Structure 1
Amino acid sequence: MNTALFLFRFSILIFFGFIVSACTNYSTTASVQAPPTLISITNNGNSNFTIKVRAQNPEFIFQGYRIYSGATENLAQNPTDLNMGDSCILAQAAIVQPLEYTFEIDPSTNPNTTGVSCRIFSTLTPGTYIAMRTLGLSVNLQNSTSSYKVSMSSNALIVP
């Protein structure tokens, strides 16, 4: 009986070893991250804002969010440089269900308020627009580099 079990396990091991070593094709197409939906923004005073965001990011490459601001809705949603926004990295989260996040936007280095998912160290100006994008990890296997890939833009909200 032990010989049969050994042969079965050995054959499974050989099969998976063949699959892994024989598979040289991999996707070079970047995974698409879902953009978040901005629900509300509240002015808490002293350049401190609270943003409610609804998002779903089931990918293991999910890293966090980046916020952009601009004088118009279009400038907030389509910045000239996608690296210019301020980020909130949530790499420890492996999310499979839609969640409602609470972000604090504050230029100070105060610790997070209770119930806040992440603090983004940024200054917002009342009357401007904000938009967010999801950050995903992008790895280039040809030259062993990695960077962030951003999703499409969220809706935009005007800063009160």
Structure 2
Amino acid sequence: MNPIHSFFVSFFFLTFVWFWNCTNYSTTTSVQAPPTLVSITNNGNSNFTIKVRAQNPEFIFQGYRLYQAATESLAQNPTDTNIGADCLLAQAAVVQPVEYTFEVDPSSNPNTAGVSCRIFATLTPGSYISMRTLGIAVNLANSTSSYRVSLPSNALIVP
């Protein structure tokens, strides 16, 4: 038998045995750190640039969700945290502080150079925005998954 093939067969078998016999997994949800909104700039034509500092590249990290409301409190604490505009980013393995540049624009234009992600939304000048981190949450009991959101970021007024 090929040694590489033998390794993969053994690895698969041990993983299968471990998966079905493992009862010592955590049911505690992982806590995601909220991002920090640094600035928002109006670029004209309903296009805005948001600078965000965050430290969330890890296994369950998925991206960010933007909320908009008439007051600071409502932007940070919406009645439904599932309603907002998402920006899903590529996962990274190393937890490092990162400064992201997000573009908020209702059009389907491609990203401007240097933009981490485009959020398809319309922002209203004078309203407040905040963001939350999205992490994947998997329920092993019923094999479902969903997004888990972090605590809210600070809020900024849309110029």
Tell me by how many angstroms 1:96 deviates. 1.4
Instruction: Provide TM-score, normalisation by structure 2.
Output: 0.86
CA distance in 1, matches of 2:77, 2:48: 22
CA distance in 2, matches of 1:82, 1:141: 23
Other-structure match for 1:148: 147
**Structure 1 segments (4+ residues) deviating >3 Å:** 19-23, 91-95
Other-structure match for 1:88: 87
Asked if 1:37 corresponds to 2:71, the answer is: no
Change (3 A) 1:110 1:74: same
CA deviations on 1:103-146 (whole Å, 9 max, x unpaired) are: 00000000000000000000000000000000000000000000
CA distance in 2, matches of 1:56, 1:147: 21
Residues 67 and 131, structure 2, Cα contact 8 Å, conserved in 1? yes
Asked if 1:76 corresponds to 2:75, the answer is: yes
Unaligned 5+ runs, structure 1 = 1-12
- Any residues of structure 2 matched to 1:15-54 within 5 Å, and which? 20=18, 23-54=22-53
Residues 56 and 95, structure 1, Cα contact 8 Å, conserved in 2? no
- Any residues of structure 2 matched to 1:117-128 within 5 Å, and which? 117-128=116-127
Aligned length: 145
Change (3 A) 1:95 1:40: farther
Other-structure match for 1:7: none
Instruction: Provide TM-score, normalisation by structure 1.
Output: 0.85
CA distance in 2, matches of 1:94, 1:34: 16
Unaligned 5+ runs, structure 2 = 1-10
Asked if 1:62 corresponds to 2:36, the answer is: no
Please tell me the residue identity of whatever aligns with 2:64: Y
Asked if 1:115 corresponds to 2:114, the answer is: yes
- Determine what percentage of the aligned residue pairs are the same residue: 78
CA distance in 1, matches of 2:73, 2:83: 15
